[in-house]
């Protein structure tokens, strides 16, 4: 899929204030600093569309970006950021939770996982929350430029094993990405293109 246009629409912390057009929407979530905003920039080929930072906690709101005039990419705050106060964390959590529970346009969520780490409880817990609420999602293993392919494959296998040993019937669809090396772009955009087609043919929901 070619990205012909990508524009920032609105930032807010209330689901009720999110755009009301009924077009398919894809959210990016994961731990702070995992590379959500960088991946949005890499996918759209716009370096400064989403704000990135080496300091965790950069994205603090729900950010809608309209792509090719017919779908949204949504950049969200990260979870698991130790330095924010307890009350800020609670506020974050409650509006993120509401977003996922209420946003009907959300056709797929990408859960970003740092490919350098073995399975983390916070990520598996979040995916369980999505599954319990019947929210479709895929995993994206990020920052693959930082590790040798063999080590990445080993970490993904560890994830598979630990999730299948738990109460997961299947391992979710997953992608690997490097925003620095621009890897994963074609596969992720192709997937989005397919889901968009399903949406516009009325095959979803």
Q: Please report, as ranges, the residues that interact with ligand GTP according to CB under 6 A.
A: 32-38, 52-54, 56-59, 77-78, 142-143, 145-146, 178-180
Compute the least distance from the CB of residue 201 to ligand GTP, in Å: 32
126, 127, 128, 131: CA torsion to nearest 10: 130
**Of 4 and 148, which has the nearer Cβ to ligand GTP?**
148
- Report the DSSP beta bridge partners of residue 31: 79
Compute the least distance from the CB of residue 83 to ligand GTP, in Å: 11
Compute the least distance from the CB of residue 91 to Mg ion, in Å: 17
d(CA 60, CA 184): 25
- C-alpha distance from residue 81 to each of 21, 54, 94 (Å): 32, 13, 15
Among 1, 17, 22, smallest CA distance to 107 is for: 22
Binding site partner of 35, from ligand GTP, Mg ion, none, Cβ cut-off 5-8 A by kind = ligand GTP
**Of 36 and 66, which has the nearer Cβ to ligand GTP?**
36
Among 53, 85, 47, 78, smallest CA distance to 63 is for: 78
CB 107 within 8 A of CB 136: yes
Here's the x/- map for Mg ion, 15-44, by CB under 5 A: it reads as ---------------------xx-------
**Of 52 and 155, which has the nearer Cβ to ligand GTP?**
52
**Of 78 and 184, which has the nearer Cβ to Mg ion?**
78
Compute the least distance from the CB of residue 48 to ligand GTP, in Å: 12
Give the residue at shortest CB distance from ligand GTP.
Answer: 78
Q: How is residue 190 written in tokens?
A: 């192709």
Compute the least distance from the CB of residue 62 to ligand GTP, in Å: 12
- Based on DSSP, count helices (H) and strands (E) in the chain, helices before strands: 5, 7
Helix (H) or strand (E) holding 194: helix 185-200
Compute the least distance from the CB of residue 59 to Mg ion, in Å: 3
Applying CB under 5 A, among 41, 59, 144, 177 the residue interacting with Mg ion is 59
**Of 58 and 185, which has the nearer Cβ to Mg ion?**
58
**Of 24 and 78, which has the nearer Cβ to ligand GTP?**
78
d(CA 138, CA 203): 19
């Amino acid at each position: 899929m070619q990205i012909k246009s990508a524009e920032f629409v609105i930032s807010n912390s209330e689901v009720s204030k999110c755009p009301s057009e009924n077009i398919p929407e894809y959210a990016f979530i994961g731990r702070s600093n995992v590379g959500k905003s960088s991946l949005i920039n890499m996918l759209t080929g716009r370096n400064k569309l989403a704000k990135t930072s080496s300091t965790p906690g950069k994205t603090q709101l729900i950010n809608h970006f309209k792509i090719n005039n017919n779908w949204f990419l949504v950049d969200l705050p990260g979870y698991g950021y130790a330095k924010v106060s307890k009350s800020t964390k609670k506020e974050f959590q409650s509006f993120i939770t509401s977003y996922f529970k209420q946003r009907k346009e959300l056709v797929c969520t990408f859960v970003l996982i740092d490919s350098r780490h073995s399975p983390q409880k916070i990520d598996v817990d979040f995916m369980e929350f999505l599954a319990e609420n019947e929210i479709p999602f895929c995993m994206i293993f990020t920052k693959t430029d930082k590790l040798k392919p063999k080590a990445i494959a080993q970490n993904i296998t560890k994830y598979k094993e630990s999730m299948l040993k738990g109460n997961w019937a299947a391992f979710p669809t997953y992608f690997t990405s490097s925003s620095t090396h621009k890897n994963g772009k074609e596969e992720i955009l192709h997937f989005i293109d397919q889901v968009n087609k399903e949406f516009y043919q009325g095959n979803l929901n």
